[in-house]
Amino acid sequence: MEQKLGVLYKRGECLLKQDTVLYENNQGIAVITLNRPHVKNALHLPMHEELYYCLNEANTDTNVKVIVLQGAGDAFCAGADLKSVENPQSFDYGDYLRETYNRLILCIAGINKPTIAYLNGTTVGAGLSIALACDYRIAAPGATIALSFLKIGLVPDAGASFFLPRLVGYGKALELSLGHTVSTKDAYDMNLITKTGDPWEFAQTLLSLPAEAYGLMKQNMYKGTLYSLEEVLDMEVSAQRQAGKTDEHKQALSAFWKKTNK
């Protein structure tokens, strides 16, 4: 075990050599690191492309069971790098969102493997939005968290309007959108984060999950907030039928019967 970029993990095979995003498969856990620490890992266009590529690589690699997204240095992500915008007076934020963040958030939401955002430091603006799209958020004790769009005259984007109310409730989402910094304790109390500490131990527990059943569960939970009860019940029927035919279920059932028949 070694300390690297704020998170403990075993060194594995480095699959991709990226400039602004690092990718490493560590014994089934893909560690994706936003790597622009000099600007607190704020995202510009090249970083968007590399992050999207790495997420797809982790999603399609059958050797990857869990994905951990973190930041280099003392930040997870400070959101968009506004200094990289050319001609800010004529810049179309809507077009930029469609071409970058929207594609990225849909990619994260569509991953059926467990995804963990490790908030290892500053997590603000669209950086928090990206974390909200992940299944779990684990924060370092000193992390600072804020949804700071209104402070610069913009509205929460990159999926924050979708995920945040579902996690903390409508009223608390409006309160957080005012841009106040949230401590990790308050973030945990309002269900904004899963836990505090290091993500490695939690990621290890996810490695043993039945992959297909987890993916089906994730789809149902996601759609459960959008569809009627009758439609969700039908989705559960379909998912359970599919899960019941997997080798993972058959092996677990066999182990159960052997244990109970002793």
Average pLDDT over residues 66-81: 94
Q: Give ranges for CATH 1.10.12.10 in the chain.
A: 211-260
The mean predicted confidence, pLDDT, of the chain is 87
pLDDT of 165 higher than 50:
yes
Q: What are phi and psi for residue 202, nearest 5 degrees?
A: -65, -40
Most confident of 4-18, 86-100, 146-160: 146-160
Q: What are phi and psi for residue 139, nearest 5 degrees?
A: -110, 140
Q: What is the distance, to the nearest Å, from the Cα of residue 233 to the centroid of all Cα atoms in its chain?
A: 27
Q: pLDDT by residue (tens digit) across 185-233?
A: 999 999 999 999 999 999 999 998 999 999 999 989 988 888 888 888 8
* Pairwise CA distance, residues 145 & 240, whole Å: 38
b/e 88-125 (16+ beta carbons within 10 angstroms → b): eeeeeeeebbeebbeebbebbbebebbbbbbbbbbbbb
Average pLDDT over residues 157-179: 94
pLDDT of residue 31: 96
12 — pLDDT class (breaks 50, 70, 90): very low
243 — pLDDT class (breaks 50, 70, 90): confident
Q: What is the distance, to the nearest Å, from the Cα of residue 81 to the centroid of all Cα atoms in its chain?
A: 20
Average pLDDT over residues 30-44: 95
Q: pLDDT by residue (tens digit) across 91-133?
A: 787 888 888 999 999 999 999 999 999 999 999 999 999 999 9
Q: Where is average pLDDT lowest: 34-38, 93-97, 130-134, 158-162?
A: 93-97
Percent of the chain with pLDDT over 90: 61
How many CA atoms lie less than 13 Å away from 156 in the CB half-sphere?
Answer: 23
CATH architecture of 211-260: Orthogonal Bundle (1.10)
18 — pLDDT class (breaks 50, 70, 90): low
The three-state secondary structure class of 137 is: strand
* Pairwise CA distance, residues 105 & 103, whole Å: 6
Q: Give ranges for CATH 3.90.226.10 in the chain.
A: 2-206
Q: What is this structure's pTM?
A: 0.86
* Pairwise CA distance, residues 63 & 83, whole Å: 38
Average pLDDT over residues 240-257: 80
**Which CATH code, of 3.40.190.10, 3.90.226.10, 3.40.50.920, 3.40.50.720, is assigned to 2-206?**
3.90.226.10
pLDDT of residue 259: 72
pLDDT of residue 2: 31
Average pLDDT over residues 28-44: 95
pLDDT of residue 246: 83
